[in-house]
Amino acid sequence: RPGEILEGRLDTYTITATLNRGAYGCAHLARATDGSWRVIKQFEPSEELSDADWRYQRVCFERESDILMRFPSPLIVFAHEFLRSDDEMFLVMEHVQGQTLRAVFDHHRLATGRPFAWPTAVGIARQLCQALSFLHHLPGQIIYRDLKPTNIMWDAVARRIKLIDFGTARFNAEAQRATQGLGTAGYAPPELYGQGLDLSPATDVYTCGAVIYELLCGSPPPDRTTPLDFRGQ
């Protein structure tokens, strides 16, 4: 709660506000001892989850923490430290000063009545491709799986995008068998709709195309379980 203190190995964090809360945990805004801001992601799953779901979400949280701690990049959110105490887990991350791509795009649409001009969309596409290429060339080859505007932050200070929320990311060896239901309708490729196809870097390429489709056309791709050919759009 606001006012509570979390003791870390690298610093001490004072919680100032709860940013959001979901079925698997919540995110808090906090200040480090030097006054800088942090975002602390807390593993706090709903009591309504089954034991199997609880264990699965714990594995996802630990995997996300491992990825962000081991593989820093200017194009993904930076993790300072991972804290564990009994069943409690916290991931301390940088506070990105900016908004999600969803918020930026929706504000632009409201102000102008139009989607992004193609040079803006191409600039974002280049950075998304750089971020995905970084993940795909890491040892073990990470597949992000759930690329969408709400999982992309626009860093207003650095003037670039950053990928956030690696809860569904997988190392390629662990992701060969697609899990139905993971991914977001419209952005997800057919293999995430239970089509019996293997996941691969092409999964992320498809979702990247879906994001750029929306930035250029003004609305998300159709919700469908068959492949969408972006070349004809």
Active site residue 146: yes
Please tell me the pTM assigned to this model: 0.85
What does the chain come to in residues? 233
pLDDT for position 130: 97
Average pLDDT of adjacent 10-residue blocks, the chain of 233 residues: 92 94 85 96 83 86 93 95 89 95 96 96 96 94 92 94 91 59 66 63 90 91 59 50
Spatial contact of 18 and 2, defined as CB atoms under 8 Å apart: yes
Q: Which of 146, 165, 223, 229 is catalytic?
A: 146
pLDDT at 87: 75
89 φ/ψ sector (left φ>0, alpha ψ -120 to 50, else beta): beta
Residue 114 near residue 173, CB atoms below 8 Å? no
What is the 3-state composition of the chain as percent helix, strand, coil, each rounded to the nearest 5?
35, 25, 40
- What distance, in Å, lies between the first and last C-alpha atoms of the chain? 48
CB atoms within 10 A of CB 177: 10
Nearest residue to 143 (alpha-carbon basis) of 95, 203, 75: 203
